[in-house]
Amino acid sequence: MKKNLIALAFVALTAVATAQTATPTKVGVIQIQSALVATKDGQKAAKELEDKMAPRKKELDGKQSEIRDLQERLAKGGNTLSESAKEELTRNIDTKTKSFNRQVEDAQAELENQQRQVLNQLGQKMMQVIDKYAQANGFSIILDVSTQNTPVLYASNTVDVTKDIIDLYDKTNFAASAAPAAPAAPKPAVAAPKPAAAK
């Protein structure tokens, strides 16, 4: 019995010693959505998308203002407008409102589609940067904690690598696209005409 107890104690001590000497797994977390938007490429893409959608937004704002004006006219003219004029104005408001709502849905769908395309493009570059960073810094795993549905319940700020990834991304990708173009290759000198061969 004593031999079994001593053997069990030895096994337990060996297990504890082995567990203490094992290299710890290095884990990091990133808020990928924030990181994508915070990169220089992300900011540039957001500005370009905003500029692209600005005319459509202006058009929709004008239509919304037009509907509001019609609604005010109906409300103010409630006692002075004839029944047929009220009905016509109401139909006009309904028609314009339905058209406006469809246009808003279309614009929203287009915006979401373009945002998705931009995020996919940036996301591919970002994954390369995360992989490079993880390998260079000995991380076994980097978890995305940018959504509320993440399985991570707690992560210390000391393991948040978002800022480091943004900085590395900007150095890796943005600097490469902003690098000056290589100088043009020198043109070969024009050869001097050969003297005529002596006869």
Contact partners, residue 165, CB within 8 Å, separation at least 6: 30, 35, 126, 129, 130, 133
The tokens for 184 are: 């043009």
Q: What is the pLDDT of residues 128-179, one digit of tens each?
A: 999 999 999 999 999 999 888 888 888 888 899 999 999 999 998 544 444 4
Contact partners, residue 38, CB within 8 Å, separation at least 6: 162, 166
Contact partners, residue 170, CB within 8 Å, separation at least 6: 39, 40, 41
At residue 173, the pLDDT reads 53
Q: What is the pLDDT of residues 16-60, one digit of tens each?
A: 445 455 567 899 999 998 999 999 999 999 999 999 999 999 999
Q: What is the pLDDT of residues 59-83, one digit of tens each?
A: 999 999 999 998 998 888 777 888 8
For residue 138, how many other CB atoms are within 10 A of its CB? 9
At residue 123, the 3 state secondary structure works out as helix
Please state the CATH superfamily assignment of the domain spanning residues 24-176 in this structure.
Skp domain (3.30.910.20)
At residue 4, the 3 state secondary structure works out as helix
- Structural domain boundaries in the chain: 24-176
When comparing pLDDT for 146 and 189, which is higher?
146
Whether the predicted pLDDT of 109 surpasses 60: yes
pTM over 0.85: no
Rounded to the nearest 5°, which phi and psi values hold at 66? Answer: -60, -45
Contact partners, residue 116, CB within 8 Å, separation at least 6: none
Please give the helix or strand (H or E) that residue 140 lies within, else none. none
End-to-end CA distance of the chain: 118
Report the pLDDT averaged over residues 87-97.
92
When comparing pLDDT for 4 and 134, which is higher?
134
At residue 186, the pLDDT reads 42
User: Tell me, what DSSP letter sits at residue 160?
Assistant: B
At residue 43, the pLDDT reads 93
Report the pLDDT averaged over residues 80-104.
91
Contact partners, residue 115, CB within 8 Å, separation at least 6: 49
Whether the predicted pLDDT of 102 surpasses 60: yes
Whether the predicted pLDDT of 192 surpasses 50: no
